[in-house]
Structure 1
């Protein structure tokens, strides 16, 4: 199976390096200085594991037209033009590990709905100033078919990722999982941008934890309005926080912060990484999308609206 990964940032590089190390045929599409660094130095992984992989790097996304599997690991505001220019071969499969819940529609317009797998990525890392990738969290990538069933192709991809050392699982209800992650990610994104702190710090803090709890409960209301039955689970579960009183929800947030402090104390949400490096953030594609959807379905989500405007102000380019 020939795999092409669009995007040489943290997640794209982690996947490419591990697949290459397992003997898979894989290439990365990157541009600008990032492409130069990856070509010259290879993909250097540190953190949970340490190795360097000399993965082929291309600047022209048309290389993906010959791939059996295309993985989109670009920022949401970067992928619009790139994906629309693709002309994949018949039967090629794609999935996106981007944040948000609208990514599958973008891919379906090019690959066809039946050839797009739903996906969420809980694995994470950070591009360091020297160009290396600090691999901080190896929680699973979940893949699933458009309908609520499993298939040999999703099972094959998951098995390939697992063999390469990347945690992965098949989901029979990927839409619910995608929304479950989205409802968790919006509060994390807002907390990181507004406080500009590591994840463990703003989750453990008593004041910011109250904001995260309020956002999480509002996101659960949005999912319900969208007809999505969120899956309660561990971590920053909006579904779990919607089922308890507010103070209990705050305790959940602070407990998750303690977990991050123990497991990944240096973890930073991708939006904060972008902000610190002066790059465009995904405020509109993540928080703005959630706010617009809430307005379309007639919800007044005060915490979401306030955080959206704060994030916009903080992430606005300098005059």
Structure 2
């Protein structure tokens, strides 16, 4: 199987570089200065042990790459950008191409499946960052990431097995799971803290906001009857496989990085907003996730620095 990584940012860039270093056939879709730097100098992967350069074909759209029926397009953009990716997919890929959602949130697979029949979901456990054009940072110094995959909406397939095999060749730990969306819903619960982590400085008040957001998330999943793996099972899967003790400074998570780069947008509609949606559909109040979603959007819209809101003030606003 050949790979096209659509969105060579933090997660996509590390995946692309590791696949290339593992001997896989890899192309990337990127944009702006990041794209031009990759074309000129290659994609630079920074790890705790040093640096490597992956010289991979790069373009701003799929039409300028070689994408065939034997290709897996690994979609690694933010969730609010997925519809735009599908416009490109519809124009420039064969009907039997494989699409892989290497994304947070649980709404992307359905968007991909509207356009193509073969969709693979992925749970992304990959500490990474991208703050400089042409450069991605791998945060874990032993296994670079845990990237479990599975056929959407459920079950296994030869395509999922082929994707997992390629990822393992790149050094990742990858297991094929028939209940991949139950695992992705557990990851969603973990990502509910992204907005607070991006908007507020560390401290007990921020921790309280995250705990409250997760409590709401667990409540809406239960009300909706959505299968989700337990925290204990997720903890067991992670174990001590990801070693970030030697991690170079990367700032915060994906939402923090979006604010830091001043992109003007964040994907919280598909994280905290997913909880808000389920709450409205099933009659469960979600004031914490509503507030965190709006707070993150305000910071993004004004190009404010991450950590510039007071968690204590947000907690007070909730009480009022």
What whole-Å deviation, never above 9, does each CA across 1:183-218 have from its counterpart, x for those lacking one?
11012x1222221x5xxxx3xx33322221111111
Aligned match of 1:209 in 179, 200, 207? 207
1:31 deviates by 1.8
Question: Does the CA-based 8 Å contact 2:199-2:256 persist in structure 1?
Answer: no
Instruction: Give me the TM-score of the superposition, normalised by structure 1.
Output: 0.82
**Higher mean displacement: 280-289 or 260-269:** 260-269
| Aligned CA distance change for structure 1 residues 101 and 133 (closer, same or farther; 3 Å) | same
Question: Does the CA-based 8 Å contact 2:73-2:99 persist in structure 1?
Answer: yes
1:64 deviates by 6.2
- Secondary structure (helix, strand or coil) at the match of 1:170 reads coil
| Aligned CA distance change for structure 1 residues 263 and 290 (closer, same or farther; 3 Å) | farther
CA distance in structure 2 between the partners assigned to 1:147 and 1:310 by the alignment: 32
- Secondary structure (helix, strand or coil) at the match of 1:310 reads helix
- Secondary structure (helix, strand or coil) at the match of 1:110 reads coil
Question: Does the CA-based 8 Å contact 2:3-2:72 persist in structure 1?
Answer: yes
1:316 deviates by 2.0
By relative contact order (CA 8 Å, sep 6+), the higher-ranking structure is: 2
- Secondary structure (helix, strand or coil) at the match of 2:199 reads helix
1:178 deviates by 1.0
- Secondary structure (helix, strand or coil) at the match of 1:169 reads coil
Q: Match for residue 24 of structure 1?
A: 24
Q: Match for residue 71 of structure 1?
A: 74
Structure 1: tracts of 5 or more residues without a match: 238-258
Q: Match for residue 180 of structure 2?
A: 174
CA distance in structure 2 between the partners assigned to 1:102 and 1:64 by the alignment: 28
1:266 deviates by 4.0
Q: Match for residue 266 of structure 2?
A: 281
CA distance in structure 2 between the partners assigned to 1:291 and 1:24 by the alignment: 40
In the TM superposition, 1:11-50 aligns within 5 A as 11-49=11-49, 50=51
Question: Does the CA-based 8 Å contact 1:101-1:178 persist in structure 2?
Answer: yes
- Secondary structure (helix, strand or coil) at the match of 1:230 reads coil
Q: Match for residue 3 of structure 2?
A: 3
Aligned match of 1:107 in 106, 112, 118? 112
1:72 deviates by 0.3
Q: Match for residue 127 of structure 1?
A: 130
Aligned match of 1:93 in 95, 98, 110? 98
| Aligned CA distance change for structure 1 residues 54 and 265 (closer, same or farther; 3 Å) | closer
- Secondary structure (helix, strand or coil) at the match of 2:139 reads strand
Task: State the number of aligned residues.
Answer: 289
| Aligned CA distance change for structure 1 residues 175 and 44 (closer, same or farther; 3 Å) | same
In the TM superposition, 1:261-300 aligns within 5 A as 262=245, 264=247, 266-267=249-250, 268-279=252-263, 280-300=265-285
Aligned match of 2:169 in 163, 169, 187? 163
1:159 deviates by 1.8
Aligned match of 1:81 in 81, 84, 87? 84
CA distance in structure 1 between the partners assigned to 2:60 and 2:198 by the alignment: 30
| Aligned CA distance change for structure 1 residues 223 and 116 (closer, same or farther; 3 Å) | same
CA RMSD after TM alignment? 2.6
Question: Does the CA-based 8 Å contact 1:97-1:120 persist in structure 2?
Answer: yes
- Secondary structure (helix, strand or coil) at the match of 2:289 reads helix
Question: Does the CA-based 8 Å contact 1:31-1:59 persist in structure 2?
Answer: yes
Which of the pair is proportionally richer in helix?
1
1:6 deviates by 0.7
